[in-house]
Structure 1
Amino acid sequence: MSNPQQYTFILEPVYGLSGNLFAWELLTRFVDDADIKHMRNPAREAVFFSHLPVEQKWQLFLRQIDQLERLYQKGFRQIISVNINRDIVSSIFSDEKTQQRLALLPFFRFEISSFFIARFTRADLLILKGLAKIAPLWLDDFGPGYSSLTMMSSGIFECVKIDKAFFWQYGESHIFDLLLGHLNDLCSGVIIEGVENQRHIEILAHKAIYGMQGYHWDGVYLDDFINKSWVATSTSDPCGKQLCQKKNLRSFM
């Protein structure tokens, strides 16, 4: 890549209602915007990624996978989700070696924005089912305008993240509770994004959710995790439910 030092990788934690940390989202930040405690710079990020050539996006993704392989080889045993777009998906499907590498990471998750499948055609469904053969799928940004329960009814998503704007506007309403009920019938768990203070945690304390994510908790630099010593455990279940291990998905295509 032309300037490999301009960004860094940060892990943003996902907590359960009981306070257990069970998953992370891998984020890419400009080095001078990489404040793990406060606000990211979405305007600069959007420009950065939208203007990257396809090959550079792919090389960035491969570097993420290189780093995750190092982390898991040291005994780390928690879920990490990585965001992908259509360019990355196309490259994955054309690279059998990368598919094999991803399949060997039992705690790896593809995270797909609702923008990816805003219209949700049959072609989108086939793409997602192909991806689910490689690693479980998490849906990001679930909210009005870009998501539908019809899309969810395919059963293709292991976990769904509700958009922070939707949570902030409807989190205390009956509509929100109804949505959680429907989503929990269609996937293994719901994560709420945009949790930024104790009040948000109190709102969610008795909701039918699996996890919470947001600036209420500090992130960590991926390099710091890789440099730490981890003790592998084969009998514990740090993530809960069935999310820790990949599902045995039936053949879709």
Structure 2
Amino acid sequence: MSNQPKAVFLLEPVYDLSGQVIARELLTRLADDADINNKRNPERDVGFFSQLSADVKWQLFLHQIEKLIQLYQKGFDQIVSVNVDRDIVASIFKDAEMQEKLAQLTLLRLEISAFFTARFNSADLLILKGVAKVTPAPLWLDDFGPGYSNLSMFDSGIFEIVKIDKEFFWQFGNGRTFDILLNHLNELCNGVIVEGVENQQQVDLLAHKAIYGMQGYLWQSVYLDDLLA
């Protein structure tokens, strides 16, 4: 752990249309970011974490899982999704001890970016199906939008929930194309979460759409360590 960036973990809420928290996403912020709560340092984008070595990402994931084990042992009873990528998925597949730990976390969801599936092929499908077999944690797909995913991948039934990319929502959320996509995705998975909700107008826009939940900076995140204190 000494060679990895010092990390702070946040739990960002996912709300349903009735205003209830139905899940949380575990977010990683670096401790040297000036304002980590509800803000992203522009230099700490998705690309930053993709540049970390496979070992550093794995160590961060191990740290996340240990924290979640502690959280659930204290009686926490909400779904938490944790972001994974190709390197982490491959390591889970080879690590029997980690598989045993994940098997105990029945409320855990593994959230994989649509960047993983941008060139989705049979090899990707085998890897994801393999992980689905060795751990009961359902797979969620993050960042779904044009250029990063294709609908054919859902025929396998491996994704429980799909998250709509915020940029796609901002651009098309008030149009018929968005509604058609929601209906189609709901036929292929168990529900859709829309990311990028930042104001009440966007909540009102989604109020009558076929979604499972909403997520974004409109709602305050909480520090995971505060819940462990």
**TM-score when scaled to structure 2?**
0.94
CA distance in 1, matches of 2:34, 2:83: 17
2:4–2:56 CA contact under 8 A, matched in 1: no
AA of the residue aligned to 1:208: A
Aligned to 1:151: 153
CA distance in 1, matches of 2:145, 2:196: 13
Q: Secondary structure of 2:44's match?
A: helix
CA 1:42–1:25 in 2, change beyond 3 Å: closer, same or farther? farther
1:36–1:220 CA contact under 8 A, matched in 2: no
CA distance in 2, matches of 1:40, 1:182: 31
The Cα shift of 1:36 comes to: 5.4
AA of the residue aligned to 1:67: K
2:10–2:37 CA contact under 8 A, matched in 1: no
Aligned to 1:94: 94
Give the unaligned 5+ runs of structure 1: 228-253
CA distance in 2, matches of 1:117, 1:167: 19
CA distance in 1, matches of 2:47, 2:205: 34
The Cα shift of 1:4 comes to: 5.6
Aligned pair partner of 1:200 in 178, 199, 202: 202
CA 1:40–1:130 in 2, change beyond 3 Å: closer, same or farther? same
1:192–1:211 CA contact under 8 A, matched in 2: yes
Matched, 1:68 2:71: no
Matches within 5 A, 1:106-117: 106-117=106-117
Matched, 1:12 2:12: yes
CA 1:47–1:169 in 2, change beyond 3 Å: closer, same or farther? closer
CA RMSD, aligned part only? Answer: 1.5
Aligned to 2:170: 168
Matches within 5 A, 1:21-32: 21-32=21-32
Q: How many correspondences in the alignment?
A: 227
AA of the residue aligned to 2:197: V
AA of the residue aligned to 1:11: L
Aligned to 2:213: 211
**TM-score when scaled to structure 1?**
0.85
Give the unaligned 5+ runs of structure 2: none
CA distance in 1, matches of 2:47, 2:150: 28
Cα displacement string for residues 37-77 of structure 1 (whole angstroms, at most 9, x for unaligned residues): 54212432446423322222111110100000000011111
2:13–2:221 CA contact under 8 A, matched in 1: yes
Cα displacement string for residues 68-119 of structure 1 (whole angstroms, at most 9, x for unaligned residues): 0000011111100000111111111111010011011000000000000111
Q: Bigger shift: 62-71 or 84-93?
A: 84-93
Q: Which has the higher contact order (CA 8 A, sep 6+)?
A: 1
Aligned pair partner of 2:141 in 129, 139, 142: 139
Identity across aligned pairs (percent)?
65
